[in-house]
Amino acid sequence: MAVTQPTLTALDVMRDAPVIPVIVLHDVRHAVPMARALVAGGIRMLEVTLRTPQALECMRAIAAEVPDAVVGAGTVRTSADAVAAARAGARFAVSPGFTPAVGRACRDAGLPLLPGVATGSEIMTAQEEGFFALKFFPAVQAGGTAMLKAWQGPFGDVAFCPTGGIQPGNAAEFLALKNVACVGGSWLVPADALEQGDWSRITRLAREASALQRV
C-alpha cells in the first residue's frame, strides 16, 4: 500500500530549519549517505538542484531510502522540470526566477514552490499568482539585507528565503530580519566533503546551521 505523504506548504518548507541546503550532486552513490548526514544534523528539507544529469536519480534514491528527509528540486526553470521532479519523488520546488507557467506546473504537480525574485515587479508578479513565500535570489548580489529591509514596508506580507552569497559569516544578519523565514546555502554540502565521503563533516555543518537563531 502506498504511503500518503503529509501535505506541505512553502512556509512549512521555509520554517522547518534556519537553512535549506542547496545541493549539487554528480554521483548517485553520494545521495543517500549525504541525506542521512544532513538529517542527523537536524536538516530535513533538502534542495537537490537540477544542475546535473544525475539530479533526478539522486532525488529518487533519497525519497526511497531516507524517509526522514524531505527532498525538493532546485533550479526548476520549466514546466517539464516540475513534472520530472515530482515523478522523481520531490515534495517541493525552488526556482531561480518566476513565470506563471512554472507556478501552474508546480501546483498541478502538487509541489509547493519557492519562486525566485530579485525586484519589486517580480514580487508583484508572483503575488498575482498567489505566491507569498519567495526566494530572494541572488540575495547578496541583488542588494542583500538592505534590500530586504526596504521591502518590509511595501511587501510586509511576504516571507523570504534569501539565497546566493549566503555563508556562515553572514547568515545570522539575514535571519535577524523579520521578513526572512530561512536562508539557502551551499556551504552545508561542500564538494570536497562529498568526494571524500566525509559525512561527519556534513552532519557537523548541518548541526551548526540548525542552531542559527532567527526571529
Q: Does the pLDDT of residue 15 top 90, yes or no?
A: yes
Q: Does the pLDDT of residue 65 top 50, yes or no?
A: yes
Residue 5 lies in a domain: no
Reply yes or no on whether 47 is catalytic: yes
Which residues span the domain enclosing 182? 10-210
Residue 157 lies in a domain: yes
pLDDT top residue among 1 and 14: 14
For residue 1, what pLDDT is reported?
Answer: 34
Q: What is the mean pLDDT of residues 7-36?
A: 97
Residue 3 lies in a domain: no
Asked if residues 214 and 18 have their Cβ atoms less than 8 Å apart, the reply is yes
For residue 78, what pLDDT is reported?
Answer: 98
For residue 30, what pLDDT is reported?
Answer: 98
Q: How confident is the model at residue 215 (pLDDT cuts 50, 70, 90)?
A: confident
Whether this prediction's pTM lies above 0.85 is answered by yes
Asked if residues 85 and 56 have their Cβ atoms less than 8 Å apart, the reply is yes
Q: What is the mean pLDDT of residues 123-143?
A: 98
Q: How confident is the model at residue 74 (pLDDT cuts 50, 70, 90)?
A: very high
Please provide residue 127's backbone torsions phi and psi, each rounded to the nearest 5 degrees: -65, -35
Cell numbers at 166, concatenated = 549566503
For residue 3, what pLDDT is reported?
Answer: 42
Q: Does the pLDDT of residue 2 top 60, yes or no?
A: no
Q: What is the mean pLDDT of residues 71-79?
A: 98
Q: How confident is the model at residue 5 (pLDDT cuts 50, 70, 90)?
A: low
Distance CA 21, CA 180 (A): 16
Identify the burial level of 173 via C-beta atoms within 10 angstroms of its C-beta, where 0-12 means exposed, 13-18 middle and 19 or more buried: middle
Please provide residue 49's backbone torsions phi and psi, each rounded to the nearest 5 degrees: -80, 145
Share of the chain above pLDDT 70, in %: 97
Asked if residues 109 and 73 have their Cβ atoms less than 8 Å apart, the reply is no
Q: Does the pLDDT of residue 4 top 50, yes or no?
A: no
Q: Does the pLDDT of residue 6 top 80, yes or no?
A: no
179 sits in the region (left: phi over 0; alpha: psi -120 to 50; else beta) called alpha
Nearest CA-CA partner of 180 in 47, 44, 14, 9: 14
Q: Does the pLDDT of residue 160 top 70, yes or no?
A: yes
Q: What angle do CA 145, 150, 156 make, to 5 degrees?
A: 105
Cell 514580487 belongs to: 123
Residue 43 lies in a domain: yes
Residue 154 lies in a domain: yes
Residue 140 lies in a domain: yes
For residue 77, what pLDDT is reported?
Answer: 98
Annotated catalytic residue within 128, 135, 149, 195? 135
Q: How confident is the model at residue 7 (pLDDT cuts 50, 70, 90)?
A: confident
> Could you give the C-alpha distances from 201 to 25, 41, 169, in angstroms and in order?
17, 10, 18
Share of the chain above pLDDT 90, in %: 96
**What CATH number is given to the structural domain containing 25?**
3.20.20.70
For residue 131, what pLDDT is reported?
Answer: 98
Residue 215 lies in a domain: no
Residue 4 lies in a domain: no
Q: How many domains does the chain have?
A: 1
